[in-house]
Amino acid sequence: MVKWQFALIWAIAVPLVLLAISPLLDGLARKIRARLHSRVGPPLIQGYLDLVKLAGKTDVTPVANTLTNFLPFLALSAAVTAGVLLPVSDFAPFSFAGDLILVLYLLGLSTVAVVLGGAASGNPYSFLGAGRELQLLLFTEPVLAFALFVLAVKAGTFRLSEIVLWHAQNGYTLSTVLAGIAALSALLPYFGKLPFDLAEAEQELMGGILLEQAGWRLALYRWTFFVKWFVVTWLFCELFLPVIAPFPLSLLLLLVKIFVIFCIAAVFETLLARLRLDHARAFFIHVAFFVLFALAFALIGS
Amino acid sequence: MTPEGLMNSVLLGMGILALGILVTALTSEQRALTRVLGTVFTLVAGIVLLYAGVGLIVWGATVRLPLTEITAIKTKLTLQADMLSGLFLSLIALLSIPSALHSFAYLEHPHYRQESLIRYYPMFMLFLLAMVGVVVAWDLLTFLVFWEVMTLASYVLVAYERSKPENLRAALKYFILTHIGALCLLVAAVILWVQGGSFEFETVFATVEKLAKTRPVLLHVILSLMFIGFATKAALFPFGDWLPDAHPAAPSPISAMLSGVMIKLGIYGFLRFFVWLLPTAAFPFAYDWSYVFGIFGVVSAILGGAAATVTYDAKVLLAYSSIAQSGFITLGIGAGMFLFSQDLPLANIAMAGAFFHIVGDALVKALLFLNAGSLLYATGSRRFADLGGLLEAMPQTAGTAFVGSMAIAGFPPLTAFVSKWLILQALLFSKSIPVTFSGVGMLLASIFSILYSVKFFAASFLIKPMRSGNLEVPSTMRLAQFILTLLVIAVGLFPGAVLRWLSWIISDASMFAGAEEKLAGFWQWAWVQPITGAFSPLVLVGMFFIVSIFALIAVGTERQPRKAPIWLGGELVKPEHLGGHPQGVPLREELLQRAYPRAPVPRWRPPEWFTKLLDPEAWMYRPVITGGTWVSDLLRRAHTGVPHLYIAWQIIGAAIIALVVWLMFRK
Amino acid sequence: MNEQVLPWFLLLILLPLVGAFICIGTKNRTTDYVASLFTGLTALVGLWMVGRWGFTGVRIHLGGLPQFGRFVGKEVSMFGFLLDPLSAIMLMIVVGLGFLVTVYSVAYISAGNKEHPVTDGRERYFFWMLLFIASMAGLVTSSNFLQLFIFWELTTICSWALIGFYETDRALWGGYKALLMTHGGGLALMVAIVALYLNAGSFDFEALKAISPEVRGALFALIFVFIMVGSWAKAAQFPFHTWLPEAMEAPTPVSAYLHAAAMVKAGVYLAARLILEGGALPYWVGLLTTVMALLTMFFAVSAFFFQDDLKRLLALSTIAHLSYILLGCGVYIMFKAPEAYQGALLHIAAHAAGKGLLFLTVGALTYFAGTRRISELSGVASKQPLIALSFFVGVFTVTGVPPLAAFWSKLFLIIGALQNGAFGYFLAFAMLLESLIAFGWFLHVGQRVFFGTPSPHVEAIEGSRRSIDISLSVLIAACILMPLIALPLASAALGK
């Protein structure tokens, strides 16, 4: 009974926390970029302000039907549910309902829902953006998945809490370090931030798949992005930078880790220019080989 | 009803189909009547056969019916149905019902209205009859006869719209390639007869066991021939090259049956003759062949997926997708055979995943093909360049297509996720480098699945500005799609229940005996929890609800949306802006296209001397005749020419005779 | 018992004979009825005899010519009748197909034929046709070589007359060539018969076993090779196969009957009889037969791809299928595999049904459309669905798609071949390859001719003829049902 209660509380609490905290990341990123540009920049709570504003605006759209009403909710739910499944250190009350593969697929589902929502509008720019987003998915998913596979193969399980436990107890090995580096390079594209933001390339595509979204839809899609950033960083931090600690302390450590990693990502975003699709493809093919080597190392025992 | 009555049900189903063939052939002139009769007969037969199939699984029965005996080859023709037969019987029956419903209105499309129904309904029921025969045959001769009749009936169906030459080419290619496969099966069957003395399965099983010890090379030859035969039907790469041509040619309900069930009969062949046939005593063969299965599975999955991502035509995309899904299933079976000796629980998981994929993919593929048929019905075209923006014009079809696309992509909580997840677990934790890397390959192929399923849905229903008006298809077609959608959702939400039944079937194979007990702890109704992971689709759906409620509260209830034209920097969108991109959704072409080039049919001109060789008159008779004529002309002239020459001949001739006589009587 | 049988044999031969002579004196519709009636009665008699005595076998000796007996000093049996399972298979085809072809000819040899309208001379046609039926019936029921030879030569003459029926230059030349080549084979057969008589003292089939052991070597080789030459010439095997394509100048029912189902089958019947009655034949005999059969198959199949004429294509296919039968015989001699022989016999029947159907289909095409060039025909199915159905059933029968007839014969042939090591595998591979090539090519041709949009020749098709429809339908049924009757007969032939 205790387990069930924990799971229920977790199921309610984590979504609330995710929805509440993730807009902070947006403000953080924009503040860092502004500071590097020698500007003052928006306040840290800018993310919240944006969402509130958007929720109140009229929904101006060329297409409004059941599917396009449903997709933003699907996107957000998928991203948040992925977060619910993640462990904090080795504490994962929801692990009976999912594991590594499920998390990856849920994140993918979230992306696909956003793409479909954008494609529904009939705008040629969205059409191009959708294509690019899908191609980017083709390049980034495998790399992240393979990096996580390295960990799974070494730990012998897909259950996230057990992977964290194993990793914390056994320390770093060659393969896990390599995989970690690869996963780090897969983070930025997952965020959809520069240098991999070609799906929403503002200068080329006017925002691509988010072009025709407005009002509450845009609010939900933006929120999806925030949550996704948070969740993917959380995934990376817990799996590749594991620390075993009792619950409240581990939560704090998690937040610290996420903050650090995300700041690093934000710095990269500001410093680098956008990569073209073929550059991105070449980059990822190299990283893919890199991570396959890591997998090979994992299989032979190191 | 008792288990003994199950064979009667099967026979009853076959009888209804046979009667249906006759009736619809006779009434084929009146289209409306034939369509109704055809649908009714198929529905009734489908329900009866579904009862039989499910009964076989649930009761765990094996029922047998001996037919005649052909003494000249010492074979008793027999029918026998066990749980494996029951599974495929259920699939055949289950898919025939929506197919028939869909055909009812589909055949009234102008495309098909001038084609005679005598080549459709009778052939469709013959096709079903033959497929049922294949899964209940218990000797190789019956099996082969039904196998080829199945190919024959499906050939006629693929060539249904025969006024177009490309359809005929596709049908020809299909028949020839599958006929080659069937000939390979024939040779394998005869070799087994020669070694064992009979075609019956029991004798064949015993022969295989004997050959495994005494003549392993021959057994490998036999297994290779069987592999080729079944791989051709299961559309694995490269044997399945007929599929991307045959699907656009066939009417969509037939495509649904072809991809949904007939291809799975190739997999049935694999299961029956590789997994059920090779007893534990012949284990090393299973081990060797697991590599073959694995390689062909992975290659088919990746190449099929890659090719699907860059096609221009909706049905070709689904065809390549079928090749890829067959690859997944084969990979799962291979993993099961491989892990059988090392890690039995994981092997069982792999087989369970493969079986679940068979069921799930059958349902989803049929659904998507029916959707493609609806698209064709509504717009007259299958090409992505002509589709798009149909979401509001065909909302119900779009809804079912959405579920279908999400299911094929492998997103939870729908069906393909569970099967891919199970197979992936088995592959990755197998502690063998090549097998783990095939797991890597499988993930790559799964990502292609996501891409092409999104492409299918987006390019058909989204992407372009929404078309106005109502292009929705007739209610029977919608009903068919709806039935399949419900089944897909049900199987997706309750995978544990289905997996439990599938475990019973798997444990029927000698290789996996006892699987049922080992796997029993893994499947519950609401979630699945095999050794290395966990998943609960209902919980997932529950989470989706919770989050959506929070989100809804956060953004408030929507106000009325304000419709505005598409923003294009000040211009209005015109058709030329969209350009009708041939692929629907632009996905990288060059790299992927090189991965699956379509081989052109070679043209060959024979050399001159070869043509001459074929005509013995030129080099044999004519010279002889000319020579003979020349000699006789010579003689003629000798007799009727110059008198002096004539006298000279006479003197010489007399001298020769004198000489001969003297020599003869010289003593 | 023997006395009860004799009248039936006589009836079998006399009915068509009498009918032939009556036909000469009649005109038009009467000729049709007379011919159909007599062939129908013959068919009934023949089939009844097959059912009654075909499985058990019956043999009658009728004695010889007294003058000849006085000349050589002893009584030599020169005439007799025989009906055993092998004869029964042949008889079934001869009388059954004879009747169907006659009914078909009623419509075909008429003014309605677009390719070759015929207004006079029909009585001549039916005379020769009925005479031919009588000769074939006599040939397959002969109990000794002499009687067989007499009927053999009779069929040669009938063939000459029928091929040249249209009396064009090409037709006359085709008939003449056929006569020359088959008669040449017949002469070789005669030499063999004489040699046999000189050594064994009898013309009977069993005399083959009685050839004295010390001369069994060279003399036996002579006898065997010469008999096989006769058989090869009649059955259009390499190198005597060149007359068959040119014999396609004959009216199509003639081609169907003589050159697919009956006359050329006499050649393989002779070979089969040789095996059945010859006792233990040496290995080299089988090897020779097999090698010649393979050569023939190669030549026939290679020439498939250069044909524009449908009938020539079918002629080449016939040659290939006859080589199948001889291949089965050869394998049986070499390796003693009974399945090979059974397959060969079964194939005699199956091929007759399928090839007969195909030829009659092509005939129907030429009747209605006026041409038989592949390049000029397309889209026939939309106008004449029955003809399309018969063509495809014929193609599937002949190329061995189950559950149609030739699948079973090919199955037996392959079973026989695969029992025998590497050479057997090679033979099976050759057979399957030929099947596959023929299957693919015929399907392609069929699709080209029958599907698609109708060509001008096809657009002009109108009407239908009941006789043609009936004969085609019966043959379609035969293609499916033939194994049910022929398989027990083939098994019984070897005494199983």
Helix B395-409 crosses helix B344-379 at what angle (to 10 degrees)?
Answer: 150
* pLDDT for the residue B525: 62
Q: pLDDT tens, B460-495?
A: 888 888 888 888 888 889 999 999 999 999 998 888
DSSP label at residue B444: H
Contact between residue B235 and residue B243 where contact means Cβ atoms under 8 Å apart: yes
Domain assignment present for residue B65? The answer is: yes
Higher pLDDT, B137 or C465: B137
Q: Nearest CB to A62: which of B437, B566, B578? A: B566
Looking at beta carbons, which residues of chain A come within 8 Å of B547? 15, 19, 73, 76-77, 80-81
Residues B73 and B216 in one domain: yes
A99: region left, alpha or beta (phi > 0 left; psi from -120 to 50 alpha): beta
A120: part of which helix (H) or strand (E)?
Answer: none
Read off the pLDDT band of B234 (50, 70, 90).
Answer: very high
Neighbours of chain C (3+ CB pairs under 8 A): B
Of C254, C244, C270, C391, nearest to C325 by C-alpha is C270
Q: pLDDT tens, C456-484?
A: 888 777 777 888 888 899 989 988 888 88
Q: Which of residues 98-137 of B touch A (CB under 8 A)?
A: none
Query: How many CB atoms are located within 10 Å of the residue B244 CB?
Result: 25
- Give the pLDDT mean for A56-80: 88
Q: pLDDT tens, A102-149?
A: 999 999 999 999 999 888 888 888 888 888 888 888 888 888 999 998
* pLDDT for the residue B261: 92
What is the least distance, in Å, from the CA of B147 to any CA of chain C?
Answer: 9
CA distances from C486 to A178, C416, C478 (A): 74, 18, 11
Cβ burial of B644 (10 Å; 0-12, 13-18, 19+) is exposed
- Tokens 């075609």, residue? B199
CA distance C415 to B192: 10
CA distance B102 to B473: 10
CA distance B101 to B11: 23
Q: Locate C23 and state its tokens.
A: 């036909």
Q: pLDDT tens, C167-200?
A: 888 889 889 989 999 999 999 999 999 888 888 7
Q: Is A194 helix (H, G, I), strand (E, B) or coil?
A: coil
Residues B317 and B445 in one domain: yes
* pLDDT for the residue A1: 46
* Residues forming beta bridges with residue B69, ordered by sequence position: B76
> Residue B590: is its pLDDT beyond 70?
no
Mean pLDDT, rounded, of chain B: 85
Strands B562-563 and A60-61: parallel
CA distance A79 to A83: 7
Looking at beta carbons, which residues of chain C come within 8 Å of B249? none
| Residue at C357: amino acid letter | L
Q: Nearest CB to A65: which of B392, B425, B554? A: B392
CA distance B256 to B233: 15
Q: Which of residues 362-421 of B touch A (CB under 8 A)?
A: 389, 391-392, 395, 398-399, 402, 406, 409-412, 417, 421
Read off the pLDDT band of B175 (50, 70, 90).
Answer: very high
User: Can you give the residue range of the structural domain that contains B649?
Assistant: 608-665
Lowest mean pLDDT: which of A112-116, A264-268, B353-357, B613-617? B613-617
* pLDDT for the residue C212: 59
* Residues forming beta bridges with residue B65, ordered by sequence position: B79
Cβ burial of A14 (10 Å; 0-12, 13-18, 19+) is buried
Per-residue exposure over B467-493, b if at least 16 CB sit within 10 Å of its own CB, e if not = beeebbbeebbbbbbbbbbebbbebbb
Q: Nearest CB to C302: which of B116, B148, B614? A: B614
Looking at beta carbons, which residues of chain A come within 8 Å of B578? 124, 127
Residues B649 and B504 in one domain: no
Q: Do B614 and C242 touch (CB under 8 A)?
A: no
What is the least distance, in Å, from the CA of B91 to any CA of chain A?
Answer: 28
As for how many domains chain A has, the answer is 1
Residue at a domain's end among B513, B538, B563: B538
User: Can you give the residue range of the structural domain that contains A231?
Assistant: 2-299
How many B×C Cβ pairs under 8 Å? 91
Q: pLDDT tens, B450-464?
A: 999 999 999 888 888
As for how many domains chain B has, the answer is 2
Query: How many CB atoms are located within 10 Å of the residue B639 CB?
Result: 10
Read off the pLDDT band of B281 (50, 70, 90).
Answer: low
Contact between residue C331 and residue B64 where contact means Cβ atoms under 8 Å apart: no
* pLDDT for the residue B635: 79
* Residues forming beta bridges with residue C373, ordered by sequence position: C309
CA distance C429 to C413: 11
How many A×B Cβ pairs under 8 Å? 234
> Residue C86: is its pLDDT beyond 70?
yes
* pLDDT for the residue B145: 93
> Residue B597: is its pLDDT beyond 70?
no
| Greatest mean pLDDT among A178-182, B212-216, B634-638, C356-360 | C356-360
CA distance B299 to B437: 12
What is the least distance, in Å, from the CA of A69 to any CA of chain B?
Answer: 9
Q: Is C92 helix (H, G, I), strand (E, B) or coil?
A: helix
What is the least distance, in Å, from the CA of B5 to any CA of chain C?
Answer: 28
CA distance A143 to C122: 85
Domain assignment present for residue B324? The answer is: yes
CA distance A29 to C192: 106
Residue of B168, B215, B610, B612 for testing the chain C interface, max C β-carbons within 10 Å: B168
Mean pLDDT, rounded, of chain C: 86
Of C280, C420, C409, nearest to C337 by C-alpha is C420
Read off the pLDDT band of C248 (50, 70, 90).
Answer: confident
Looking at beta carbons, which residues of chain C come within 8 Å of B611? 306
| Residue at B30: amino acid letter | Q
Q: Is C469 helix (H, G, I), strand (E, B) or coil?
A: helix
Q: How many residues does chain C have?
A: 496
CA distances from A157 to A89, B276, B279 (A): 16, 30, 31
Domain assignment present for residue B270? The answer is: yes
| Greatest mean pLDDT among A12-16, B55-59, B515-519, C152-156 | C152-156
Q: pLDDT tens, B15-50?
A: 999 999 999 888 888 888 889 999 999 999 999 999
Cβ burial of A204 (10 Å; 0-12, 13-18, 19+) is middle
Residues B492 and B624 in one domain: no
Ramachandran angles phi, psi of A57, nearest 5°: -85, 160
Q: Do B179 and C436 touch (CB under 8 A)?
A: yes
* pLDDT for the residue B287: 82
Q: Nearest CB to C447: which of B145, B168, B621? A: B168
Percent of chain A with pLDDT over 90: 16
CA distance B372 to B398: 11
Looking at beta carbons, which residues of chain B come within 8 Å of A81? 540, 543-544, 547
Domain assignment present for residue B586? The answer is: no
CA distance C10 to C79: 12
The per-residue DSSP string of B556-613 comes to -SPPPPEE-PPPBTTBPP-HHHHTT-TTSS----HHHHHHSPPPPPP-----HHHHHH
* pLDDT for the residue C3: 62
| Residue at B302: amino acid letter | I
Neighbours of chain A (3+ CB pairs under 8 A): B
* pLDDT for the residue C101: 92
- Chain B contact residues (CB < 8 Å to C): 70-73, 116, 118, 141, 144-145, 148-149, 152, 159, 162-163, 165, 168, 171-172, 175-176, 179-180, 183, 186-187, 190-191, 193-194, 610-611, 614-617, 620-621
* pLDDT for the residue B2: 67
B267: part of which helix (H) or strand (E)?
Answer: helix B263-270
Lowest mean pLDDT: which of A58-62, B407-411, B608-612, C411-415? B608-612
Chains C and A touch, using 3 or more CB pairs below 8 Å: no
- Give the pLDDT mean for A11-24: 89
Ramachandran angles phi, psi of B207, nearest 5°: -60, -40
> Residue B329: is its pLDDT beyond 60?
yes
Q: Please give the model's pTM, rounded to 2 decimal places.
A: 0.89
- Tokens 């059945």, residue? C276
Chains C and B touch, using 3 or more CB pairs below 8 Å: yes
Vertex C27: Cα angle to C24 and C33 (nearest 5): 90
Please list the alpha-helical segments (H only) found in B3-139: 5-26, 31-59, 83-106, 110-113, 121-136
> Residue C218: is its pLDDT beyond 50?
yes
- Give the pLDDT mean for C229-258: 88
* pLDDT for the residue A2: 60
